[in-house]
Amino acid sequence: MSVMQDEVHEQPAVVEGLLAAEQERVRKLAADLRKRDPRYVVIAARGSSDNAARYGQYAFGSLLRLQVALATPSLFTLYRQPPRLRDALVIGISQSGQSEDIVAVLAEARRQRVPTLAITNSPDSPLAMQADYLIETHAGLERSVAATKTYTSQLAALGLLVARWLDRDDLMRDLAALPEWMRRALELEPAIIAASERYRDVQHCVVLGRGYNYGTAFEVALKLKETCYLAAEPYSPADFLHGPVALVEAGFLAIMLAPSGAVSDNLAEFIPTLRSRGASILAVSDQEASLRQSDVPLRLPVGPAEWTSPLVTVIPGQLLASHLAQARGLDPDKPRGLKKVTVTR
């Protein structure tokens, strides 16, 4: 078993541990943020953390009704023209907390006297030092270059912040149920191994997701690029129709992330368009409409709340990346040209 697979399997316990360890701290900081009443949120992140930020756009937008912008770090570092951040909450998300450009965003936010929050696995990092508030992800040492448990723990941290900000017991129950749903998603591994053999020679694919799982599409595509050297591009179906659909031809792989929710019917309705152009469909879903139209159905457990579903839906994608790499004769733990901590300016 690869180190990456080991760490994928650690994720339910990591999320469980985070929810227990950070409850009181997040309750206090959420109460403080309610009083400060920011008008919008700016999130600075790179790589997998940036995909977690895309989840934050939906979690903060739909539940807190706050507009969320993804920061443009080069404005803070290379151009030295930082935007005005009045009335914002500025969040930095980073596994290592080392990237200079992400640290610079929080440093400038502090200079402008707006609240800053770090979500990191490294509580003594430069990023944490620039934050008024901290949520530690408690993922432990992540040995795999391709992030897995640090990614889902970042999602859990954002979800915990939202639930505590709203002080809603129903949202807390949704979070508490997550580790079990994640464990059930891991049971798909035998089917994923078979799918990896089927698609071992594929050279390009699209990963489709929408709503809360738009960021999941980006994260699964990133894992496939990192470990399999596969040209995998993430889209929402709405954007894919605006031009990129012309790429689809016989044998083209389309990975559909379609758990139950407001967008699941829309995703299912898009499958015939792909099939009519010769695409092979791998559906990650709990919806019969998507599963019965797919060439490879990966059946998700029924039950997770839509707003927490990204922590469950990403697991088959992570396992697919690891097993597909091995089917192609590659080592998912040693992606070429990559290292664990990437420092950007």
What pLDDT is recorded for position 345? 59
Mean pLDDT score, 210-223: 97
Q: What is the mean pLDDT of the chain?
A: 95
CA pair distance 4, 14, nearest whole angstrom = 15
Q: What CATH class is the domain 3-176?
A: alpha beta
Do 333 and 3 contact (CB within 8 A), yes or no? yes
Q: Is the pTM of this model over 0.85?
A: yes
Distance in angstroms (rounded) separating the CA atoms of residues 80 and 95: 25
Q: With 60 as the cut, is the pLDDT of residue 340 above it?
A: no
Could you report the per-residue pLDDT of 75-100, keeping only the tens digit for each? 999 999 999 999 999 999 999 999 99
Greatest Cα-to-Cα distance within the chain, rounded to the nearest angstrom: 56
Give the per-residue pLDDT at 284.
98
Q: Single out the residue of 312, 292, 309 nearest to residue 188, CA to CA.
A: 312
Percent of the chain residues past pLDDT 70, beyond the cut: 97
What's the pLDDT at 9?
Answer: 98
Residue pair 29/56 in contact by the 8 Å Cβ criterion:
no
pLDDT at position 196 is: 97
What pLDDT does 336 receive?
79
CA distances from 103 to 54, 97, 340 (A): 19, 7, 18
Mean pLDDT of 219-240: 95
Read off the pLDDT of residues 276-308 as tens digits, 9 standing for 90 and up.
Answer: 999 999 999 999 999 999 999 999 999 999 999
The tokens describing 328, both together, are: 């192609």
- Residues 117-154: pLDDT tens digits? 999 999 999 999 999 999 999 999 989 889 999 999 99
The pLDDT of residue 344 is 65
- 340 DSSP 8-state letter: S
Closest CA to 153 of 8, 341, 258: 8
Q: Is the dihedral of CA 272, 277, 278, 279 positive or negative?
A: negative
Q: Do domains 3-176 and 183-327 have the same CATH topology?
A: yes
Domain boundaries, the chain: 3-176, 183-327
pLDDT of 341: 57
Residue 205 has pLDDT above 60, yes or no: yes
Inter-residue contact 171 to 30 (CB < 8 Å):
no
pLDDT tens per residue, range 13-33: 999 999 999 999 999 999 999
Beta strand residue intervals within 21-99, DSSP E: 40-44, 67-70, 88-94
Per CATH, the number for 183-327 is: 3.40.50.10490
